[in-house]
Amino acid sequence: MRIRDPNIAAKLAELHVELKRGAALAELTSLGIGGTTDLLRIKRHESLPDLLNLLDANHVPHKFLGGGSNLLVGDGELPWVVLQRSPTSCSTAISRMSTLRQTWDA
């Protein structure tokens, strides 16, 4: 699935979501197989509710991708976009948790 509407693409940028067009899921799965689709990398976890509302309002089917382990995806163009948390957003969350723990332990 491809996001072709420029208004949706602009809103994604406002939500801090990186749009990677025509991503090969084979590069993201442990088995190295999978078709292509647009990949939406979520850089700020706070934007997730607004992102889901945007996709639902525009009838854009979507699936979440975790680490890609134990995932079997068909070849060819996939009928949905893939949502994935950016590694940066994960490390930021871990960093915040570490800071909170240090404050708590002090």
H helices of 33-86, in order, are 48-57
Q: Who wins on pLDDT, 71 or 36?
A: 36
Fold of 6-105: 3.30.43
pLDDT above 80 for 96: no
Phi-psi category of residue 81: left, alpha or beta, with phi > 0 → left and psi -120 to 50 → alpha = beta
Q: Please write the tens of the pLDDT for every residue from 37-53.
A: 999 999 998 999 999 99
**Cα 94 to Cα 41, 67, 70, 84, 100, distances in angstroms:** 18, 17, 24, 17, 10
For the chain, give every domain's residue range: 6-105
d(CA 26, CA 74): 10
Confidence (pTM): 0.78
62: which strand partners?
81
